[in-house]
Amino acid sequence: MTTGTDPAVQRRRLRVELRRLRLDRQLTQKEVAEQLGWSLSKMIRIETGQVGISRGDLRTLLEEYNVSDPATVNDLAAMAKDGRRQQWGPYRDILNSDFLTYLNVEGSASVIRQGEPQVLPGLLQTEEYARAVITGVGGAELSAQTIERQVEVRMKRQEILERPDPPQMHFIIDESAIRRPAGGVKVMRSQLRRLEEIAALKHVHLRAIFLRAGVHPGLRGSFVILEFPDPADDDLLFLESGQSSLATKDSPEDIARYRQDFDTLEAIAASEDDTLRLITAAQAEL
C-alpha cells in the first residue's frame, strides 16, 4: 500500500484510507467522534491531514472500524509514522509560516498550476540561478548561511519532479523571466538548458507569455494553485508578494478568481513548442 516516504504523500494516503474505512462502516465523522469521546474538530483535522495521528489514536480508530488484519494495520502505521516526519521543520527559522504550510502539502498535490511573472518558478531553477535570485531579491539582510539554506530548500523541493508518481505541473511564465540574465550569462545559459530538460518531461507543461501580449493578470504577482487527488480535499491557493505570502484553502472565491486568471493566462500564452523555441533563441542571444 505504501509506495514512497514523502511525508505529505503519506499523510494524504493515510487520510484517504481512514476516510474510506469510515465510509465502509457507514459512519459519519460525528458518530465516530462521539463513540470515541473525541471532539468533532479533532476527527475533521485527522481526516483532512491538518494534524498527524498518534499511534494510540490510530489504533483506537482501527479498532472502531474493526480493522485487525496485521498487514493492513502495519501499512497504515507506517503511513502514520512517515507522515509525522517534519520534512521542512529544520527550516522553520528561515521560512515564513504560510510557505511552510504550502510546502507541507505541495508533495501530495495531483496538479500544480503556477503563474510567475518575474523570475522562473522555484521548481524549475538550477542551484546557481536560485542562489542569484535569492541573493538579488533578499539583499544585504540575508546572511550567506541563510541564502545557502534557502537554496537547499529549493533544490529539495525539486525531488517531486523525479518521483514515480509526480503531479501534473502547469507553469506559465513571462518572457521577461526567460530573458532576464539572473546570475550572469553563464548561469543563465545553464538555467535555460535546464528549462529545456524539464519541459521535455511528460508531466511538465511550460508555456510563456510573449512581451508583445502586453499587460495581463499574471503581472499582479506569483500564484500557485494546488489540486489534490481526493475530491473532498479543497484546492489550496498560495500567493507571494515581496516579504508577504498567503496560503489558504478557506477562500473559495479567491481560489476561483485565480483559477480564472490562470485560464486567461493559458489563453494568451504561447504553445509549449513556441516556448521551447523562445528558450532556444534566448540562449543564442546571450
Q: What is the pLDDT of residues 155-193, one digit of tens each?
A: 999 999 998 889 999 999 999 999 999 999 999 999 999
DSSP output for 169-220: EEEEEEHHHHHS-TT-HHHHHHHHHHHHHHHTSTTEEEEEE-GGG---GGGG
* Average pLDDT estimate for 223-238: 89
pLDDT digits (tens, 9 = 90+) for 1-51: 334 456 777 777 888 899 999 999 999 999 999 999 999 989 988 887 767
Phi-psi map region of 49: left, alpha, beta (phi>0 left; psi -120 to 50 alpha): left
At 94 the pLDDT is: 93
Long-range contact set of residues 134-141: C-beta below 8 Å, sequence gap at least 24: 136/182
Alpha helices in 28-96 (DSSP H): 29-36, 40-48, 55-64, 70-84
For residues 142 and 241, give the distance between their C-alpha atoms in angstroms, rounded to a whole number.
17
Q: Where would I find the beta strands (DSSP E) of the chain? A: 111-116, 168-174, 204-209, 222-227, 236-241, 244-248
Number of other residues whose CB lies within 10 A of the CB of residue 9: 21
3-class state of residue 171 by DSSP: strand
- This prediction has a pTM of 0.81
Residue linked to cell 504550502: 102
For residues 71 and 51, give the distance between their C-alpha atoms in angstroms, rounded to a whole number.
24
At 46 the pLDDT is: 86
At 48 the pLDDT is: 76
For residues 121 and 118, give the distance between their C-alpha atoms in angstroms, rounded to a whole number.
9
Among 232, 129, 227, smallest CA distance to 186 is for 129
For residues 100 and 112, give the distance between their C-alpha atoms in angstroms, rounded to a whole number.
17
Among 229, 226, 230, smallest CA distance to 249 is for 226
C-alpha cell at 150: 534557502
DSSP-derived letter for residue 93 is T
CA count, 13 A, side-chain hemisphere, 114: 25
Single-letter residue type at 194: R
Single-letter residue type at 262: F
At 242 the pLDDT is: 64
For residues 74 and 77, give the distance between their C-alpha atoms in angstroms, rounded to a whole number.
5
Among 48, 43, 41, 50, smallest CA distance to 27 is for 43
Mean pLDDT of the chain: 91
